[in-house]
Amino acid sequence: MTTIKEFICNPLPTPNCHASTVLPLPDGTVISAWFGGTKEGTGDVNIWYARRDENGWSKPASVSYNKNIPHWNPVLFLKENGDIVLFFKVGRKIHSWRTFFSISTDGGKTFSKPSELVKGDRSDGRGPVKNKCIRLSNGRILAPASYENNGWNCFVDISDDDGATWRKAPKIKTEQALPMFNRQNNYTSNLIPMIQPTLWESAPGKVHMFTRTPVGRAYRSDSDDYGETWCQAYRTDLWNNNSGLDVVKTPNGDLYLLSNPVEENWGERSPLTLQKSTDNGTTWETILVLEEEKIDSEFSYPAIEYMNGSLYITYTYERLNVAFWKIEL
């Protein structure tokens, strides 16, 4: 593998940053976005983005719905007409998030004034919550969604008109958790808590997700009908530290997964590894350790995309910067 590693901007325009997203474009340009401000959850946190071309990364610019309310978890997506959608959350607390989006018609150089994704929504966390949307073989778009209101639950938002309108699929059922575990950790449900799914389609109509959980393992659910219905989520062998993970499928069917393989609730967000599966996610091999540092380091919330033989990766680097990798397979 041939690799490029760099920081998007050094220093960034804000003292704190997190939750990046990455989008390679057919012309070789790469767009990344993240949230940044004084500290996660403070009123000055906005969405920032930058564009990488043959001259390197552009100076970051910001998108904001309201300069006094925290912004969270941007997600980039390419529409069929070439427009770029930037989804993000706005709200003082996670349970009150509203989902907004901006559009770029010039390849990520500028973005429009934000609009609300589903007008009037206040509690269901519509649209993608952290990881990228995927376009299925029939053209449908699935947004991996979750909410943290009265328990942690995952679902998908479905669009059959290239993102013009969305409808919410039923939440994913999961297993019973140990009552003592949920009481000790202040979860309000007796089920395994799950958030922030990541999606892939293995064959036409057959869609899968991994989810973040606090029980030491990622959970998985599968759909045979283009995301309309999903089986009860089940435990996998993938370690999860109750932090973000992301997966991408390449044209030959291989899967590449970025995560912190730590078997502990709120465990260390290091190391950050790239794993590969050639059997649709049943078994995995670690092929690259991107970061592995001292205790209390943070390399987290990775995003991964594929285009034209290369993987494109971004992630939080110690809350101080956004790291970028291009890996030619």
Alpha-carbon gap, residue 15 to 22, rounded angstroms: 21
Q: How many domains is the chain partitioned into structurally?
A: 1
What number of residues does the chain have?
329
Alpha-carbon gap, residue 255 to 250, rounded angstroms: 6
- Structure confidence at residue 123 (pLDDT): 67
DSSP secondary structure letters along 202-240: EETTEEEEEEE-SSSEEEEEEESSTTSS-PPPEEEEEE-
What would the mean pLDDT of 176-181 be, rounded to a whole number?
68
Which residues form the domain of 261?
Answer: 2-328
pLDDT band, residue 10 (cuts 50/70/90): confident
- Structure confidence at residue 226 (pLDDT): 98
What would the mean pLDDT of 109-118 be, rounded to a whole number?
97
What are the tens digits of pLDDT across the range 235-256? 999 999 999 999 999 999 999 9
What are the tens digits of pLDDT across the range 36-45? 999 999 999 9
What would the mean pLDDT of 148-160 be, rounded to a whole number?
92
The closest of 315, 278, 280 to 21, measured between CA atoms, is 315
What would the mean pLDDT of 6-26 be, rounded to a whole number?
96
Alpha-helical regions (H) of the chain: 179-184
- Structure confidence at residue 181 (pLDDT): 63
Alpha-carbon gap, residue 133 to 103, rounded angstroms: 15
Report CA torsion sign: 305, 36, 321, 104: positive
What are the tens digits of pLDDT across the range 159-174? 999 999 999 999 999 9
What are the tens digits of pLDDT across the range 272-293? 999 999 999 999 999 999 999 8
pLDDT band, residue 186 (cuts 50/70/90): low
Residues with Cβ < 8 Å from 274, sequence gap 6 or more? 256, 257, 258, 286, 287, 288, 289, 290, 311, 313, 327
Domain holding 283: CATH number? 2.120.10.10
Tokens coding 194: 């799950």
Flag whether pLDDT at 146 surpasses 80: yes
